[in-house]
């Protein structure tokens, strides 16, 4: 299967040139021209590596990286302006795997991509790293399974989605509207309090029987799962 690369770069010429070169090398390429689009595409997953410009409209590259690192360990190579030393330092601090300075020679970029992919392959954990945990709770989004201390917990599809989304966005308060869109679909037109109902269900199946306070209500805003 082809290696999938996401290019997040607002300078169209650079994005297009890089795309052509990467495709020529046999990579599959997708592009985003601003930070928010790039982040949501990256969060959707399915990419093997991300090339991330720092100066982006909407959300800058470092912020995209910081948010992405909450849920994903996908290799990220930053594209930085010449001599922006601080960018490189904060980029590596924010969890970038490497950086190239623009304008870059395509050979250098290709070499750095190969190194980052190899490093990732070598570091691949034995356990499925997509499993979300909260204390003794384990949520496996690929297998759609939930266990608490090894005991299976039965959740409906929407209860499961709600729980997974809150865990994937740990420490971020999500509004009812956001949750509604993600759990029920953005074309959902029923009652908005269904989210409260699903939260109640999940609490009654996990929080209450196991005596934990996982899903927290933020009055007037929505819900959050914080670090345990
Ligand atoms: Ca830029």
Please give the distance, rounded to the nearest whole angstrom, from the Cα atom of residue 93 to the centre of ligand 1: 20
Tens digits of residue pLDDT in 123-165 = 755 444 588 999 999 999 888 899 999 999 999 988 999 999 9
Structure-token match 């909260």, residue found? 134
pLDDT at position 225 is 96
Q: For domain 4-123, give its CATH number from 1.10.600.10, 3.20.20.70, 3.30.70.20, 3.40.50.2300.
A: 3.40.50.2300
Task: Report the alpha-carbon distance of residue 204 to residue 126 in Å, rounded.
Answer: 33
Q: Is 152 exposed, middle or buried (0-12, 13-18, 19+ CB in 10 A)?
A: exposed
* Residues flanking ion ligand 1, Cβ below 5 Å: 10, 53, 55
CATH 1.10.238.10 fits 132-225, yes or no: no
Structure-token match 């005596």, residue found? 211
Tens digits of residue pLDDT in 47-91 = 999 999 999 999 999 999 999 998 898 999 999 876 666 666 777
Task: Report the alpha-carbon distance of residue 207 to residue 5 in Å, rounded.
Answer: 39
What are the angstrom distances between the C-alpha of 168 and each of 16, 119, 162?
Answer: 32, 24, 10
Give the global pTM.
0.55
Tens digits of residue pLDDT in 170-187 = 999 999 888 988 888 766
């Amino acid at each position: 299967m082809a290696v999938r690369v996401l290019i997040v770069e607002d300078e169209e010429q650079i994005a297009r040139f890089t795309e052509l070169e990467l495709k020529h090398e046999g990579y599959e390429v997708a592009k985003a021209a601003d930070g928010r689009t790039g982040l949501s595409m990256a969060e959707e997953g399915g990419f093997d590596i991300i090339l991330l410009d720092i100066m982006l409209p909407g959300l800058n590259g470092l912020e995209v990286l910081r948010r992405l690192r909450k849920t994903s360990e996908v290799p990220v190579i930053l594209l930085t302006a010449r001599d922006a030393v601080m960018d490189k330092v904060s980029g590596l601090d924010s969890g970038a795997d490497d950086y190239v300075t623009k304008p870059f020679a395509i050979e250098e970029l290709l070499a750095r991509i190969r190194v980052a992919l190899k490093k990732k392959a070598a570091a691949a954990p034995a356990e499925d790293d997509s499993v979300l945990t909260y204390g003794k709770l384990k949520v496996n989004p690929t297998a759609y399974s939930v266990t608490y201390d090894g005991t299976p917990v039965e959740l409906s599809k929407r209860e499961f989605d709600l729980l997974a989304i809150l865990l994937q966005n740990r420490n971020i308060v999500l509004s009812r509207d956001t949750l509604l869109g993600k759990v029920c679909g953005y074309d959902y037109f029923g009652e908005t309090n269904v989210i409260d109902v699903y939260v109640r269900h999940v609490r009654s199946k996990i929080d209450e029987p196991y005596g934990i306070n996982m899903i927290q209500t933020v009055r007037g805003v929505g819900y959050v799962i914080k670090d345990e």
